[in-house]
Copies of this chain bind each other. A is one copy, B any other.
Amino acid sequence: MEQTSGPDGYSYLGPAGTFTEAALKQVAAAAGKPWHPVNNVGEALADVQEGRSVGAVIAIENSIEGGVTATLDALAARPGLRITGEYLVPVEFVLVARPGKTLDRVRIVNAHPVAYAQCRGWLERELPASAHIPSSSNVAAAASLFADATADAAIAPPGITDHFDLDVLARDLGDDPGAATRFVLVSRSTALPERTGADKTSVIVELPDEEPGSLLAMLEQFSTRGVNMSLLQSRPILGDAFNRYRFVIDLDGHVHDERVADALLGLRRYSPKITFLGSYPRADGRPVQYEAKHDDEVFIEARDWLRGILSGEPAAD
């Protein structure tokens, strides 16, 4: 394992074999470049910020290797970075044990906390009294069964049996059969990815005060321009125990869409504490839906109309 990926390489939460590596494999530009496994999200982002890597792949939602809050808080703390791509990795879990162990004898389960959370329904149903030992990754959970005898079984991805001599005690543990983890590619580049018609825009916004209706006023900036949110995640602001929040927001559309740009203008006026995280193609390729009245042409026509008034031209209508 090399120490840094170099200025054209990519950092990701390792070790090799994790879901994050599966996401990195989807990044076309990363093919043939050095990949650098790191220990935590902060380290991955620092690699990019300080020029040791050109990009980092990190889990952002419903994650297996670290979860949304660590990533979101890390992004809020490092505003120079930009999201330039999104990737989905399907989530599947099996329960594995060393040969000879049977399901009725499993008392202690080793699992990454997020994997454990995603299998909670199955565990409550099939192993209601089991205790949990958390591991740092899905790979580490399986490896722990060889390191000591504390855990009886581990939760891991199906491919784990390619690498370890383990029996599968149960399949399809995940509570949500369509589950996937969402990853983003983060870089220093402030060049905007091209608009594809199936884009997302991510921002972090801090409410200016804690008045009733303050969040409402913020959301009106979107609804009044017909901009849909696909993510609204509140995060407490440190030092303001339980009183104030920032919001991580994913919008449908690209900042090159007039309605998104205008919504961002409104948002910036509403709260100067806004961080633009990027506009980038959606992993699912689903085109953004919006009503004709929020089309680019409507914005352009209105600007032309106002320009006519301001310049003193006689009105056409």
Chain B hits for A74, CB < 8 A: 120
Chain A: interface secondary structure?
mixed
What number of A residues sit within 8 Å (CB to CB) of B? 99
Stretch of A20-28, A97-105, A307-315 that contacts chain B: A307-315
Query: Would B242 and A182 count as touching, CB distance under 8 A?
Result: yes
Query: Would B131 and A136 count as touching, CB distance under 8 A?
Result: yes
Contact with B along A33-45 (1 / 0, CB 8 A): 0000001101100
Shortest beta-carbon distance from A134 to chain B in Å: 4
Instruction: Judge if A161 is at the interface, Cβ distance under 8 Å.
Output: no
Q: How far is the CA of A175 from the CA of B227 in the complex (A)?
A: 35
Shortest beta-carbon distance from A106 to chain B in Å: 13
CB closest chain-B residue, reference A90: B241
A144-186 with Cβ < 8 A to chain B: 148, 175-180, 182
Query: Would B230 and A233 count as touching, CB distance under 8 A?
Result: no
Shortest beta-carbon distance from A49 to chain B in Å: 11
Query: Would B241 and A215 count as touching, CB distance under 8 A?
Result: no
A134's partner among B124, B134, B234, B317 (CB-CB below 8 A) is: B134
What 3 A-B pairs are tightest by C-beta distance, nearest first? A213-B223, A39-B131, A268-B302
